[in-house]
Amino acid sequence: MIAEAMAEGVKIRDATNLDLPAIMEIERLAFAQPWSLDSFERELSLPFSRLIVASPMARGASPLAGYLCRWLVADECHILNVAVRPGMRRRGIAERMMSDAITEAKAKNAQVVTLEVRRSNLAARRLYRKFAFEERRLRIGYYGSGEDAIVMELKL
Ligand SMILES: CC(C)(COP(=O)(O)OP(=O)(O)OC[C@H]1O[C@@H](n2cnc3c(N)ncnc32)[C@H](O)[C@@H]1OP(=O)(O)O)[C@@H](O)C(=O)NCCC(=O)NCCS
């Protein structure tokens, strides 16, 4: 049951500019071709974009655990980026952020949530399947490395 697996000790909140150093640290640890600082700053300024973070409840205790970026355009929520700090994985933190994004999308009357995932990223593919995302089609050579993307979709 998704609710039972949810991470304890973190709260989900909107990111601010002050979170960007920690977000960049996680981004560089998580991806071979990380987004730039400019990209995150741009997301914070776009009205249809939302960047959320999983932040420790206890002040000053541990660093940011993870973040998720989504766009909400017309009736579609698109998840652009999600990552969790390596030492904090497998505690339900990504699941918690995904759950927040999906709940918000439903509340705002989105009809579908979409995302792209590397074919080789079995951890992320399992995460999305846990939310009943379906693998719809391939984007051949979508990533810079030449790897294919799988387009996944969750009808709300
Ligand atoms: C993918 C990622 C975000 C998952 O974060 P996480 O907080 O560890 O995930 P959760 O603990 O919430 O796991 C939820 C579910 O995802 C799946 N999952 C997560 N990590 C997994 C792994 N290493 N292997 C297999 N399944 C995994 C499981 O189904 C898991 O549920 P379970 O624990 O009940 O089996 C994290 O591994 C990460 O940051 N990876 C690098 C960045 C990345 O690939 N982002 C996705 C881009 S599309």
Q: Residue 113's closest CA among 64, 143, 68, 83? A: 68
Question: Do 26 and 85 contact (CB within 8 A), yes or no?
Answer: yes
Residues 51 and 17: their CA atoms lie apart, in Å, by 10
26 lines ligand 1 (CB under 6 A): no
- Atom of ligand 1 minimally distant from the CA of 96: 12
Provide the token pair at 112: 């579908």
In this prediction the pTM is: 0.94
Q: From the CA of 89, how far away is ligand 1's center (Å)?
A: 7
Q: From the CA of 131, how far away is ligand 1's center (Å)?
A: 12
CA dist list (Å): 60 to 27, 32, 56, 88, 111: 21, 29, 8, 16, 39
**CATH superfamily membership of 3-155:** Gcn5-related N-acetyltransferase (GNAT) (3.40.630.30)
Residue written as token pair 């709260």: 11
Per-residue pLDDT of the chain (156 residues; tens, 9 = 90+): 343 334 678 999 999 999 999 999 999 999 999 999 999 999 999 999 999 999 988 766 678 999 999 999 999 999 999 999 999 999 999 999 999 999 999 999 999 999 999 999 999 999 999 999 999 999 999 988 889 999 999 999
In this structure, which residue's CA is closest to atom 4 in ligand 1?
A: 94
